[in-house]
């Protein structure tokens, strides 16, 4: 008797039974499967905990950075210029794609969108008053 899989290939049941024995312990009772599930659960708990700690640390750094933006105008200007950088890179990359022939010239119709964001960021950085000294 054979079973079919989505790709259309048929595998005999004998082969499937051999694959199932890989997860059984030496005595044939299936203890290896339970141990595998335990390690999967442990890995999941440790992974979610580590991701939570990393996310908490990143949020703490972000909060400190945003607090510094309020009292340090030079830092605020730097953050505005850093915010404009991805849009400038996108503009350069898009124009380069059109010039090299990898994209059609119609792609330049979307150019005003990043130009507007770039202008907003750089205008805000330029208008920021930095006290002397």
pLDDT tens-digit readout, 4-15: 556 555 555 555
Same-domain pairing of 51 and 98: no
CA distance 33 to 23: 5
CA distance 126 to 115: 16
Query: Tell me: the pLDDT tens digits for 35-90?
Result: 788 899 999 999 999 999 999 999 999 999 999 999 999 999 999 999 999 999 99
Q: How many Cβ atoms sit within 10 Å of the Cβ of residue 86?
A: 13
Predicted structure pTM score: 0.58
Whether 20 maps to a domain, the answer reads yes
Domain span including residue 106: 72-133
Query: Tell me: the pLDDT tens digits for 93-106?
Result: 999 999 999 999 99
DSSP SS3 for 3:
strand
Residue after which a domain boundary falls, among 44, 62, 80: 62
Same-domain pairing of 76 and 111: yes
Give me the number of domains the chain comprises.
2
Whether 77 maps to a domain, the answer reads yes
- Give kind and range of the element (H or E) at residue 4: strand 2-4
Same-domain pairing of 33 and 56: yes
CA distance 42 to 36: 10
Residue ranges of alpha helices (H) inside the chain are: 13-20, 31-71, 73-100, 112-127
CA distance 4 to 133: 77
Same-domain pairing of 85 and 50: no
């Amino acid at each position: 008797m054979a079973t079919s899989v989505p790709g259309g290939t048929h595998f005999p049941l004998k082969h499937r039974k051999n694959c199932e024995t890989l997860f059984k312990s030496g005595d044939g009772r299936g203890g290896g499967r339970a141990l595998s599930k335990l390690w999967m659960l442990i890995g999941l708990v440790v992974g979610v905990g580590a991701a939570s700690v990393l996310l908490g640390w990143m949020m703490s750094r972000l909060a400190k950075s945003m607090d510094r933006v309020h009292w340090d105008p030079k830092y605020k200007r730097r953050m505005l210029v850093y915010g404009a950088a991805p849009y400038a890179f996108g503009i350069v990359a898009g124009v380069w794609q059109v010039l090299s022939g990898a994209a059609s010239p119609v792609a330049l119709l979307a150019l005003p969108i990043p130009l507007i964001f770039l202008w907003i960021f750089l205008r805000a950085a330029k208008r920021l008053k930095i006290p002397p000294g």
